[in-house]
Amino acid sequence: MGDAPPLPPTRWALGGSRTSGYGDRFAELIAEGADVVGEARLADALVPRGAAILDAGSGMGRIGAHLLAQGHRVTAAEPDPVLVEQSRRLWPELEVLPLEILALTSDALTSAAAPTAYDLVVCVGNVLTFVAEGTEVAVLRRLGSLLAPGGRILVGFHLQEGPTTAREYAPEEFLADVEEAGLVVQHRFGGYDLRPVDDLYCVAILARA
């Protein structure tokens, strides 16, 4: 069998130096004692103790590290090598697979000794608006394929005033992509504090249809 074709570059990778402030900014916020784990608190509320959680597009590790500290079994996956290095330096106990979501096949996870089915997939902090152009449905489908029975996906992204190198993702298009990927929206909110739906930010909890 030949090698798989290379995956298209993510919008994050194409953003280059324009995306590079993220890791340092969060490191500064953490040093200042800021609350940077709102997403993780909601994620923690969605699962029982000791759940298997995949942090998909884990960045510098802030969410996965918090969930690990709550006693969950966390696998992080992050394709940006600079962020993988930062995450491993800050939280050596958090296992980070240097892989992008489309590369998270059962074979890849098995060879990394990681679970192949998760109670919760966390895909927050605009990951979905940074994936490679045209891969949104494939990414959502891949995440859905990694769910254990009853498992769910927590996603969150800006609807307005997002990062400059991210795409705009209108709620109608997102909802159509969710359906095409064989998923359903169980809940939608305007933020991780469960504020009502608004046109600024989209938090959604997805499950297999």
Residues at the interface with ligand SAM (CB under 6 A): 10, 12, 22, 56-59, 62-63, 78-80, 83, 100-102, 124-127, 130-131, 139
Enumerate residues 6+ apart whose C-beta is below 8 A from 105.
none
Of 58 and 75, the one with the shorter C-beta distance to ligand SAM is 58
Of 40 and 51, the one with the shorter C-beta distance to ligand SAM is 40
Of 47 and 83, the one with the shorter C-beta distance to ligand SAM is 83
Query: Smallest distance, Å, CB 141 to ligand SAM?
Result: 13
Smallest Cα–Cα separation from 56: which of 131, 113, 110?
Answer: 131
Of 134 and 149, the one with the shorter C-beta distance to ligand SAM is 134
Query: Smallest distance, Å, CB 195 to ligand SAM?
Result: 18
Of 57 and 151, the one with the shorter C-beta distance to ligand SAM is 57
* Phi, psi (degrees; rounded to nearest 5) at 89: -70, -45
Q: Which residue's entry shows tokens 């996965």? A: 64
Smallest Cα–Cα separation from 55: which of 5, 96, 90?
Answer: 96
Of 18 and 195, the one with the shorter C-beta distance to ligand SAM is 18
Q: Which residue's entry shows tokens 């697979």? A: 97
Contact between 128 and 157 (Cβ < 8 Å): yes
Query: Smallest distance, Å, CB 6 to ligand SAM?
Result: 13
Query: Smallest distance, Å, CB 124 to ligand SAM?
Result: 5
| Residue 206: C-alpha distances to residues 121, 158, 179 (Å) | 9, 17, 10
Query: Smallest distance, Å, CB 196 to ligand SAM?
Result: 22
Query: Smallest distance, Å, CB 172 to ligand SAM?
Result: 22
Q: Using CB positions, name the residue nearest to ligand SAM.
A: 125
What is the 3-state composition of the chain as percent helix, strand, coil, each rounded to the nearest 5? Answer: 35, 20, 40
DSSP H helix total and E strand total for the chain: 8, 7
Q: Which residues pair with 55 in a beta bridge?
A: 76, 122
